[in-house]
Structure 1
Amino acid sequence: MKKRYRLKKNQDFQLVFKGGFSVANRQFVVYQKKTQENDHFRVGLSVSKKVGNAVTRNRVKRLIREVIREVEPQMKKQQDYVIIARKPTAEMNFHEVRKSLLHVLKRGKIIKPAGGRSVK
């Protein structure tokens, strides 16, 4: 995921929180808001200190970015997303993070299987 497609400023996060809607499961909360500014989606990540120390938080963010990179072609464009990782993600491996995040993205109708192929 390229840096220009990331949400970095607090103001951008607040716009998504206030103007968007959310879907969640035990591990993740995903807020989404439609925008007209970009022809690509932007993603912001939030991993609280409650999840763990800096090493753990950065690991969780890397795992989330990798999942987003995989499903990038299937995601809706012209959207801003904020993905919040909850405490259980600290003990999860890549495959568990992927499965849980895909579950939430499908619930929020953010992604759909490409070409009839299901994403597991």
Structure 2
Amino acid sequence: MQRKLRLRNREDFSRIYRHGRSFANSQFVVYWRKYPQTEQFRLGISASSKLGGAVVRNRLRRMLKEIVRHNAHKLNEGIDLILIVRKPALTLPYIEMERSVLHVLRKAGLLKGSNPSDRSPGKRGPGGGRPKSAGALPRAFICL
């Protein structure tokens, strides 16, 4: 991946975390923010030390950079994005990892021709699920 397409500054990461949007699946989290000053996208990858040693984390980063490089023509321009690796991604073969990355990017609306997910941001926790229909009765739970 070209050097100019990488996010390396702490300020860039902080700006995206603070003001960007996010979407996740079980293997990856993507944070993104529009950044029209660039003609292409810029990518940062975050792999926690909880995933394993430096060899494991660097291997994951290299694989993700290669996946993004091969699919760069599918990504929208003018965005900064950060991919965060989760623990379940460690066991995935390359093909499955590519599918998972493309899935999270598609759901986030970052691929050309895809719309953002219809999930409303900020609605998490109790009561944050699907909207109830007008005639629906509340569910009852019986504890014995």
Q: What's the TM-score, normalizing by structure 2?
A: 0.75
CA displacement 1:20-53 (0-9 Å, x = unmatched): 1001001100001001211111000000011111
What residue in structure 2 maps to residue 108 of structure 1? 108
Q: Find the structure with the greater CA-based Rg.
A: 2
Give the 3-state SS of the residue equivalent to 1:50 in structure 2.
helix
Residues matched between the structures, number: 113
- Structure with more of its chain in strand, by fraction: 1
2:14 is the counterpart of 1:14: yes
The answer to whether the Cα contact below 8 Å between 2:76 and 2:112 also exists between their aligned partners in 1 is no
Q: Which has the higher contact order (CA 8 A, sep 6+)?
A: 1
Q: How many percent of aligned residue pairs carry the same amino acid?
A: 37
- Structure with more of its chain in helix, by fraction: 1
What residue in structure 2 maps to residue 66 of structure 1? 66
**Structure 1 residue 89, shift from structure 2 partner:** 1.4
Q: What's the TM-score, normalizing by structure 1?
A: 0.90
The runs of 4+ residues in structure 1 deviating greater than 3 Å are none
Aligned equivalents of 2:50, 2:89: Cα separation in 1: 11
1:1-120 aligned at under 5 Å gives the runs: 1-112=1-112
Gaps of 5+ in 1: 114-120
RMSD of aligned C-alpha atoms? Answer: 1.0
